[in-house]
Amino acid sequence: MAGSMEDQAKLVFGDHVEGAHAFAAMLAEHGVERGLIGPREVERLWERHLLNSAVIAELLPPGSRVVDVGSGAGLPGIPLAIARPDLELTLLEPMARRVAWLEEVAERLDLSITVLRGRAEEPAIRARLADSDVVTARAVAPLERLARWCLPLLRPGGQLVALKGESALEELERDADAVRRAGGGRQRVVSCGDEVLDIPTTVVLVERDENSGRRDGGRRRRKDR
């Protein structure tokens, strides 16, 4: 395990670590006044937010089409975009002021991402983002609600990656049946960044049932990128 926070950042972000520093500086300068993070979070941006978010990149196959639902301050979406420029990444956020923030960050850091205003449950959003490979969510909603919102955005066999922390196993046990009813297949709790972070990131992984597309009438297959 790396010793200092800077060592951890270099391991997680690699050649893109300067972009991570730039994002951290933007959050430290503007995050509190714009209602993106609480005052106490400034001192632990790296440990609690940037590194915690970026390590889930180890779960994402190269070139994945990823939707970050309820992106807010840009977590985990912006750290993922910095660490993994190969991803086809859409940041979905319903609040106009947060959409403006995400667009500013994308422009300032020259990130090749799409920022979209809307909610995952809206029919137009589902139509636009259908057949994604991965949907991520951090501090958005309980697992049962997340499954209903996010699983329809996935292709059959695609994966919901929900950052849940200490509540992960409890939520999975409580909501497993509801997740299955929403179209979820295999469900499990995993940790990310075990070899790098002092406190690894705990996530719930839910695969969309391979048969769910047929049950709900099927979905158009995504076009080749």
CATH number for the domain that contains residue 38: 3.40.50.150
In a domain, 25, yes or no: yes
Which helix (H) or strand (E) element contains residue 204? strand 201-208
Domain assignment of residue 220, yes or no: no
Q: Listing from the earlier edge strand, what are the strands of the sheet with 132-138?
A: 114-117, 88-93, 65-69, 132-138, 154-163, 201-208, 184-192
Residue 23 within any structural domain of the chain: yes
Q: pTM of the entire structure?
A: 0.90
> In tens digits, what is the pLDDT along the chain, a chain of 225 residues?
456 889 999 999 999 999 999 999 999 999 999 999 999 898 899 988 999 999 999 999 999 999 999 999 999 999 999 999 999 999 999 999 999 999 999 999 999 999 999 999 999 999 999 999 999 999 888 999 999 999 999 999 999 999 998 889 999 999 999 999 999 999 999 999 999 998 999 999 999 998 865 444 444 444 443
Specify if 90 maps to a domain. Answer: yes
User: Which structural domain, as residue segments, surrounds residue 121?
Assistant: 5-215
The answer as to whether 225 is a domain residue is no
Q: How many domains would you assign to the chain?
A: 1
Judge whether 13 lies within some domain.
Answer: yes
